[in-house]
Structure formats: C-alpha cells, structure tokens
Amino acid sequence: MDFKVNTVHFTADQKLVNFIHEKVKKLELMYDNIIASEVYLKVSKNTEKENKVAEVKLIVPGNELFARKQCKSFEEATDLAVSALKKQVSRHKVKHA
C-alpha cells in the first residue's frame, strides 16, 4: 500500500507521521486490497480547542473510502478517522466478497 501524509501550512514531525503510518497500516491487516492511503492534516481557523483536522482517504479497487475527524490533537483525530474507516472497510469487504 502506498502511504502519503500531506500537511497544510505546517510541517509534521516524524513522530507524528510514524504514529499515523502505524494506525493506517493496521487497516491493511483487515483488507489487503488497499491500493493507497492519503492523510491530510490541517489546523482549522476556528478559535476552539478542537481545531486539528485529520482526513484519511483509502483507495480500494473500484472505490474510495474517506473519513474526516476534528479533535484537540492530530493523534486523536487520526485515531477516530481510522476507527471510522475500519467500519467502512469491513462493509466494503462484505459488499465485494
């Protein structure tokens, strides 16, 4: 699976990128037909504390799965997005089995 992290208007440190990679890699254990994953990290402009946004897109044969979460930290947002994608991946597997 190809893996890409894109950041908007900042540079993510390697520790964060490694954390995200480990989380997304677990999805591949559920479904080995994942072609690629793209993660977008951005800080929303609102003044709330929950201003970190993680968007995760999985490219699977014939489809794209997507989750977007906004939390206090990128780690938490990634965690929630990957959890949402786990449900989508399992539904996709059943549908295309």
When the pLDDT of each residue in the chain is averaged and rounded to a whole number, the result is: 93
Long-range CB pairs of 22-30 (<8 Å, 24+ gap) are 23/78, 23/79, 23/82, 24/56, 24/82, 25/1, 26/82, 27/58, 27/82, 27/85, 27/86, 27/89, 28/1, 30/86, 30/89, 30/90, 30/93
Q: Which two tokens stand for residue 69?
A: 């979460």
The CATH T-level fold of domain 2-82 is Double Stranded RNA Binding Domain (3.30.160)
Decide: helix, strand or coil at residue 81: helix
Please state, in angstroms and rounded to a whole number, the distance separating the CA atoms of residues 63 and 74. Answer: 26
How many whole angstroms separate alpha carbon 53 and alpha carbon 62? 26
pLDDT higher than threshold 90 for residue 14:
yes
Q: Would you say residue 46 has pLDDT above 80?
A: no
Confidence band, pLDDT 50/70/90 cuts, at residue 49: confident
Tens of pLDDT, residues 67-83: 999 999 999 999 999 99
Whether the predicted pLDDT of 23 surpasses 80: yes
Split at pLDDT 50, 70, 90, the class of 50 is confident
Average pLDDT over residues 23-36: 93
Average pLDDT of the segment spanning 53-75: 95
